[in-house]
A and B are shown apart, each in its own frame.
Chain A
C-alpha cells in the first residue's frame, strides 16, 4: 500500500512534541511526514527563551537537530511559511511549492497580542516570542538605558528579566491592579510586586497607555490615562497571546468567536482530515496558553492516529510553578476560589516575604486551589492534594505555615495514589514508575531512562527521587550509599577502613577494598580521608594523581585553564608592606586582582608555569598558601572588634588570627569557612559560617553548621560564654567529628541536618562527651596541626615537584595557544570569544 502523506504545519514546541510522540508509533510507518516551519530555525524551547540573553544559543535551546528529524524519516521544510491550505484539493501551498496531503496537523501556535495603542507600531516597539524577536530587542537595547514591558503576566515578567539582563533599567506596566492577575490574588500580587521592585524592576500597576510618542530624554514616551508618563528607549509588548489561526480561517475551518481553531476531544477540526493542537486550538471554548496542555494534545493526536479509541483530550491542569526574577510563584487549580462554597486559609508573612493561600472545598476535605508567593516549598505537596483529590490533614494550615518544631506534615510518597502525576512534562504517573521498577529498573537513572520522568523541565526531580527510593526500599532493594562504582562503601565506612587498618595510600585501599583504577569521585574523597588521618603532603608522588587540579597545582583553575592564587591573610589583617607586595606581584604578571567575599585578595590569570615563581615572591614577603583550592579551612573572617570599634567587647581580630593559624590546612569533606564578630552587631556575619564565633561581655558564643552559598542555613547556637581555651577545644572536637563522619562533599549544614538526633545529639557528643571520644578528637586535631606545612613552600623548594608546573614538558617557553585576553576596567581578563588556533 502506498504511504499516505501527513503534513505538520508549525515547528514549535507542540509540533515538535507531536513528531516525537508520533514517530515511534506503528502508524508512523504508514505516513510520509512533512514538517513546515516559518522560522529558519528548528523547534526550540520557548519556555527558557530568556536564557538566550544569558549566553545560550539556538543550539542550546533546540529540541532536536536536522539529523534527528532525518533519522526518523521526517522531511523538514524550515523557513517555508504555508500561505494557503487548499482543503478542496487537499494540498498546502508555500512560496516554494505545492504539497498534497492526506491529513494535516495545524500546530501554528500563537502570536503576541499588541494592544492598539496610538504609536504601537513604530521602531523600538517590540514583542517577545521568537529568537528573532530577542535579537531585535538586543539590538534595540545596545547602548541604551531604559526598557519597558507592557504586561505584568508570566511572560511579561520573564521579558522584564531579559531586559534587566541586558543591563537596562527595567519597568513593567500593567493595566490590572496587580501582577499576574490570572494566577494571583490581591495579596499575592502585592507581595510579588514588592519583591520584584526590591530586585530593581519598577512596577507600575493600573496604568493604561494612551499613546506612544517620541521622548525627550529617551527614544519614546508613554502617555498614561492618568496624565502621567514614562520615558523609555524601547517597549516590549507582552500583553497576552492570540491563537495563530489565519491559515485555518482563510481555508474556511470553523473558528471560535474570539479566534482559535475549534477542535473536539480528538483534536479534530471541522474538517476530519485536519487536526489542530497547541495554542492555535480552541477546545471547549478555551485556549491553553501553556506548553503542558499542548503536549497533552500532541499525545492525544498521536494516539488517535494509531486508532487508539480511548485517546481523548479532556482539558488540562493550568497549575504553574515559576521562579520569576528569582521570586517563587505558584498557582494551583482554582486559585481564586471560584468554586461555590469554597473556603480560604491565608497566611501572609510580611516579615519573611511569603504568602500562601489554600482554597478548600465546602466540606473542608479537599484542596481546590492554592497560591504561593515567595516560597514554592509546599507546591509539590499541594499539587498532589489538588490533582489527586487526597483528603486534607486535620490541620491543613500547616501545609503553608513556616516549618516549626516537628516539621510540617509532608505528603510522603506512600500517600500518593497510583494515578498521581509525578512528571507532567512527560505524563508519568506514580503507577508508571512502579511499573518501571517492577520491570527491572533498580535505580533512579534507569527509571528516568525508562519513563522519561524528570527529563523535561526537571521540576519533579525531588519528588521522583523520593518515590523511587521509597518504592525500591519497599521491594527490599537497599538504596546504595556507595561512594562510586569502585568502592562498595560510604565515605564514613572508607574513613574507618583507612583509620583502623592504617592504610596510607589509595593503591592499597583499592587493592584491598575496591576494584578497578578509581575515578574522579573516589580519588579526591580518599585523598581527603588520607590527609585527615595522616596529613602527608598532597604533592607526595603517591597522592598527586588523586587530586583535583586545584589541589594538584595549589591554585584555583579558571575557565580558560589559567589559575588564581589566594595567599593566606589570617583574619583579614594585612600590613601595608604586604599589600604593596601583592600589588607588585600582580602588576609584574599582569594578574587581575579582586577582594574576595571572605576578606582575602585573589590574583587571577597566572599560567601553570608562572605559579612557582609567583609563590616564591609571595613566600619571600611572608605569605603562605591560603588553601583556597582545597576542601579545607578557607578563611576566618573578622570585624575589628575591641581593637578599634566603639562597640567591640572582645578582640575579634586576635581570635580570628588564632583560629586561622590553628586550622589552616585541615582537610575536610567540604570547604570550611569561619568568622569571628567582636560584638552582637555581627559585622563578620558569623552566623552564616560553618564555625561562627560572636563575642559577649563574658567570653565567646559558638555557632555551628551555618552556611551561606547555594542553600543558606543559619548556624545554631552551640555553646555560650566560652573562654578562649574552651572555645578552641570545642571547635577542635566539632570539626574532627565532622571530618570523620560526614559524607563526601557534605557541608556541615547538611551533615547536621542528617545527623540522627540533630543538634542535641551533637551537643551530647561534644559538650558532654557521651561517646568518650572528646580527648581522642582533640589529640587527632593536635596531630594535624603539628604536621602543618605550607604546601606552596614545599612545592617550590622541591625540584621534582616543581617539574609538575611545566605547561608543556618538551617546550618550556611555549605559551598556551588558546588563551585570549581582553581588558576591562583597566585589568586583563579572559576574552569571551575564544578562537582555537592550532599552530
Chain B
C-alpha cells in the first residue's frame, strides 16, 4: 500500500468559491474545488480529463447531478464526481481523487509518497 503525505499546494486566498483551481503535485496536476456551505467544502480530483485528453478539469463548471457533486469537463462536458472521480456518462472512466484540507490558511493535499521518498523498492 502506498502511503500519503500532506503537501502544501496553496493558500486559502487562491481558492475560488463555487469553482476550481489547478495545483501542481509530484503525482500530476490536481484540480481543487471550493464549495462554501457544502459538506465538506473542499474536493480534489485529477486535473487531466481522460476523455478530452487535456489538463482542464479545474476549469469546468461545478454542480450536482442526480444527487452527486460533479464537475463538467470544459472540453466535451462529461461529468466527473467530485467525491468518487467516476465519470457519469462512461462508467469505465474515472479520475483519481485526493484528500484535501485547509490547515490554517494553508491549502494541503494528500498525495502519495513517491517511491523515491518512501521505501527503496
Q: CB within 8 Å of B: which residues of A?
A: 485-486, 516-520, 522-524, 541, 544-549, 552-553, 557, 559-561, 608, 803-804, 806-811, 814, 816-819, 834, 836, 838-839
Say yes or no for B120: interface residue by CB 8 A criterion.
no
Please report the number of residue pairs spanning A and B whose Cβ atoms sit closer than 8 angstroms: 107
A520 touches B72 (CB 8 A): yes
Does B19 count as interface, using CB distance less than 8 angstroms? yes
Are B61 and A818 in touch, CB under 8 angstroms? no
Inter-subunit contact B56/A561 (CB<8 Å): yes
In the complex, A193→B73 CA distance in Å? 44
A554: min CB distance to chain B, Å: 13
> Which of chain A's residues have a CB closer than 8 A to the CB of B65?
485, 519
Q: Are B24 and A814 in contact (CB under 8 A)?
A: yes
Task: Give residues of chain B (44-73) contacting chain A, Cβ–Cβ below 8 Å.
Answer: 48, 52-56, 59-66, 69-70, 72
Given contacts A549-B60, A557-B59, A559-B54, 13 further A-B contacts (CB under 8 A): A485-B66, A518-B63, A519-B63, A519-B64, A520-B63, A523-B63, A544-B16, A544-B18, A545-B17, A547-B61, A557-B75, A560-B54, A838-B27
- Distance between Cα atoms of A545 and B56 in the complex (Å): 15
* Chain B interface residue number, banded: 35 or more
Bound-complex Cα distance A838 to B16 (A): 26
- The answer for the CA separation of A548 and B70 in the assembled complex, in Å, is 15
Jot down 5 A-B pairs with beta carbons below 8 A, ordered by A.
A518-B64, A519-B72, A544-B19, A553-B59, A819-B54
Residues of chain B within 8 A (CB-CB) of A807 are: 22
Given that A557-B74, A809-B14, A818-B53 are known contacts, is A839 also in contact with B28, CB under 8 Å in the complex?
A: yes
Which listed residue, A809, A836, A839, touches B48 by the CB 8 Å rule?
A836
Q: Is there a chain A Cβ closer than 8 Å to B38's Cβ?
A: yes
| Chain B residues whose CB sits within 8 angstroms of the CB of A811 once the complex forms | 23-24
Contact, CB under 8 Å: A541 / B17: yes
- List the A side residues contacting B10 at CB < 8 Å: 809-810
B18 to chain A, nearest CB (A): 4
Return the contact of A548 from the options B26, B53, B61 (Cβ within 8 A): B61
* 8 Å CB contact of B23 from A518, A522, A810, A817: A810
Chain B residues, CB < 8 A from A819: 54
CB pair A810–B9 under 8 Å, yes or no, is: yes
Are A545 and B16 interface neighbours, CB within 8 A? yes
User: When A557-B56, A836-B48 are in contact, do A809 and B64 touch as well, CB less than 8 Å?
Assistant: no
In the assembled complex, B35 has its CB within 8 A of some CB on chain A: yes
B60 to chain A, nearest CB (A): 7
Contacts of B69 in A (CB 8 A): 517
User: How many angstroms from the CA of A169 to the CA of B59 in the assembled complex?
Assistant: 43
Closest Cβ–Cβ distance, residue B10 to chain A (whole Å): 5
B72 and chain A: residue at smallest CB distance: A520
B55 and A816 contacting across the interface, CB-CB below 8 Å = yes
Is B29 at the interface (CB under 8 A from chain A)?
Answer: yes
Interface status of B100 (Cβ within 8 A of chain A): no
Closest 10 CB pairs of A and B: A519-B63, A545-B18, A561-B54, A520-B72, A549-B74, A811-B24, A520-B61, A545-B19, A808-B24, A838-B28
Which residue of chain B lies nearest to A516 when distances are taken between CB atoms in the complex?
Answer: B64
Which residues does chain A contribute within 8 Å of B77, judged by CB atoms? 520
Note all chain A residues with C-beta closer than 8 A to B21. 806, 809
Set of chain B residues within 8 Å of A485, measured between Cβ atoms: 65-66
Residue from the set B26, B27, B38, B53 with the largest chain A CB neighbour count within 10 Å: B53
The minimal Cβ–Cβ distance linking B88 to chain A, given in whole angstroms, is: 11
Minimum CB–CB distance from B105 to chain A (whole Å) comes to: 14
Separation of A829 and B63 alpha carbons in the complex (Å): 33
Residue in contact with B55 in the complex, picked from A518, A547, A552, A818, CB distance below 8 Å: A818
Most chain-A Cβ atoms within 10 A of its Cβ — which of B10, B17, B63, B79? Answer: B63
**Min C-beta distance of A455 to chain B, whole Å:** 15
State whether A552 touches B59 (Cβ < 8 A).
yes
Chain A nearest CB from B26 CB (Å) reads 7
Known: A519-B63, A545-B17. A834 touches B53 (CB 8 A): yes
Compute how far the CA of A543 lies from the CA of B56 in the bound complex, rounded to whole angstroms.
20
Separation in Å of the A550 CB from the closest CB of chain B? 8
Which residues in B have their C-beta under 8 angstroms from that of A518?
Answer: 63-64
A524 to B69, CA, bound (A): 17
Q: Please report the C-alpha to C-alpha distance between residue A242 and residue B78 in the assembled complex, in whole angstroms.
A: 43
Tell me if B62 and A545 are in contact (CB < 8 A): yes
Within 8 A of A (CB), among B62-102: 62-66, 69-70, 72, 74-75, 77, 79
In contact, A549 and B59 (Cβ under 8 angstroms): yes
> Which chain B residues in 1-33 approach chain A with CB under 8 Å?
8-10, 14, 16-19, 21-24, 26-29
A809 CA / B29 CA spacing, docked (Å): 11
Residue of B14, B29, B60, B72 touching A817 (CB-CB under 8 A) = B29
> Which chain A residues lie closer than 8 Å to B8 at the CB level?
810
Q: Which residues of A contact B56 (CB under 8 A)?
A: 549, 557, 561
Residue of A nearest to B29 (CB): A808
Distance in angstroms from B5 CB to nearest chain A CB is 15
> Shortest beta-carbon distance, A75 to chain B, in Å?
23
Across-interface contacts of A544 in B (CB, < 8 A): 16, 18-19
- Structural contact, A817 and B55, CB atoms closer than 8 A: yes
Which partner residue on chain B sits nearest A561 by CB separation? Answer: B54
What are the residues of chain B within 8 A of A836 when measuring CB–CB?
48, 53
A524 touches B61 (CB 8 A): yes
Residues of A close to B72: CB separation below 8 A = 519-520
Contact between chains at A517 and B63 (CB < 8 Å):
yes
> Which residue in chain A gives the minimum CB-CB distance to B14?
A809
A552 to chain B: which residues have CB within 8 Å?
59
User: Whole-angstrom distance between the alpha carbons of A419 and B10 in the complex?
Assistant: 64
Q: Which residue in A559, A814, A839 is a CB contact (below 8 Å) of B75?
A: A559
How far, in whole Å, are A817 and B53 apart by their CA atoms in the complex? 11
Residues of A contacting B19 in the complex (Cβ-Cβ under 8 angstroms): 544-545
In the complex, the chain A residue whose C-beta lies closest to that of B57 is A561
Min CB distance B73 to A, Å, is 9
**Out of A486, A516, A520, A553, which one reaches B60, CB within 8 Å?**
A520
Are the CB atoms of B18 and A810 closer together than 8 Å? no
Most A CB contacts (10 A, CB to CB) among B27, B28, B54 go to: B54
Residue in A closest to B8 when the chains form the complex, CB atoms: A810
A486 CA to B70 CA, complexed, in Å: 14
A760 to chain B, nearest CB (A): 38
In angstroms, Cα B32 to Cα A808, docked, is 11
Distance of A229 Cα from B117 Cα, bound (Å):
72
Q: Please, how many angstroms separate the alpha-carbon atoms of A441 and B18 in the complex?
A: 35
Q: Report A-chain residues with C-beta under 8 Å of the C-beta of B62.
A: 517, 545
Minimum distance in angstroms from A532 CB to a CB of chain B: 19
